[in-house]
Amino acid sequence: MSTKQYAAPEWRQEINQYLTHLRASGQREASVQTRSRQLVALSNDMGFAPWNVTAADLLAWFESKQWARETRRSARDAVHGFYEWGVRNGLCETNPADALPHVQRSTPTPHPCPDHLIHAALEAATPDVQLMIRLAAECGLRRSEIAQVASADVLTAHGEYSLIVHGKGGRQRIVPMSPDLARQVIAADGYAFPGRFGGPVEASYVGKRVGRMLPNGYSCHSLRHRYATRLYAQTRDILLVSRLLGHTKIETTQAYVAIPTVDMNDMLAAISVH
């Protein structure tokens, strides 16, 4: 995507109106900002007004990009949605993005971070990053959810602790947490990771801080995969794992769970003809 932060002048008003439409429809602010970046990139690459863009222009633009499949799929959705909004509001007669080929959703594979790498990261990390790592690995939180953790979110009953997680789309869930992890969050007496201007830090800040402590190929999301894999190995309950991860579809959860090695060995022994 283009690194420019502002839309081309010919596009600026239309993009802002479309983003207002997305917010009015209840889209998450993170999703709105993603659409904004995608459309800003398109506007700066096109060089002329949005309603003069043709199907051939869009096809050439997409062909020129060396994107991963999911990035390409998301960009297509952004461009198609923008022009569909334009058609509905009488700004253009047809949607040039209709000509763009559909991009198949990729099938991700589980990528849990091994425990020995987590232990090494914890030893090298500062206390605040240690807490970020543990919230991802032991509670399965996304980086955006880690950023919002606050002491008031910790619940206690009968000596057991749990955490209210502020998830995607404003959906909340409750996950169990260990007593020592709970006490660390409570001790923050506010946001666990306060930002400079009174609110919490950005999700990107969490991702960068955690990512720096892990080897290449592993990230905050790999810690979440570790949580899912360990939880499933312990419970064999994919629905429970899905709920604790905050997923709305079981299919999404299945991409997080790596088959435990002991299970794989048992399976291979069972099907062997030797």
Domain residue spans of the chain: 9-99, 115-266
Q: Confidence class of residue 268 from pLDDT cuts 50, 70 and 90?
A: low
Instruction: Tell me how far apart the alpha carbons of residues 44 and 146 are, in angstroms, rounded to a whole number.
Output: 34
The whole-number pLDDT of residue 257 equals: 86
Tell me the CATH number for domain 9-99: 1.10.150.130
The whole-number pLDDT of residue 116 equals: 96
Domains 9-99 and 115-266 are alike in CATH topology: no
Instruction: Tell me how far apart the alpha carbons of residues 32 and 19 are, in angstroms, rounded to a whole number.
Output: 6
Whether the predicted pLDDT of 1 surpasses 50? no
Q: Please report the sign of the dihedral spanned by the C-alpha atoms of residue 231, residue 213, residue 163, residue 178.
A: positive
The whole-number pLDDT of residue 264 equals: 63
DSSP category for residue 138: H
Exposure class string for 156-184: b at 16+ Cβ within 10 A, else e: eeeeebbbbbbbeeeeebebebeeebbeb
What token pair was written down for 149? 């953790």
Each residue of 171-197: pLDDT tens digit?
899 999 999 999 999 999 999 999 988
Strands of the 160-166 sheet, one edge to the other: 154-157, 160-166, 172-177
Tokens 């009968």: give the residue: 158
pLDDT averaged over every residue in the chain: 91
Cβ-contact 153, 163 below 8 angstroms? yes
- Global pTM reads 0.68
The whole-number pLDDT of residue 246 equals: 92
Whether the predicted pLDDT of 272 surpasses 50? yes
115-266 belongs to CATH 1.10.760.10 = no
> DSSP readout, 13-35?
HHHHHHHHHHHHTT--HHHHHHH
The whole-number pLDDT of residue 137 equals: 96
- What is the arithmetic mean of pLDDT over 114-129? 97
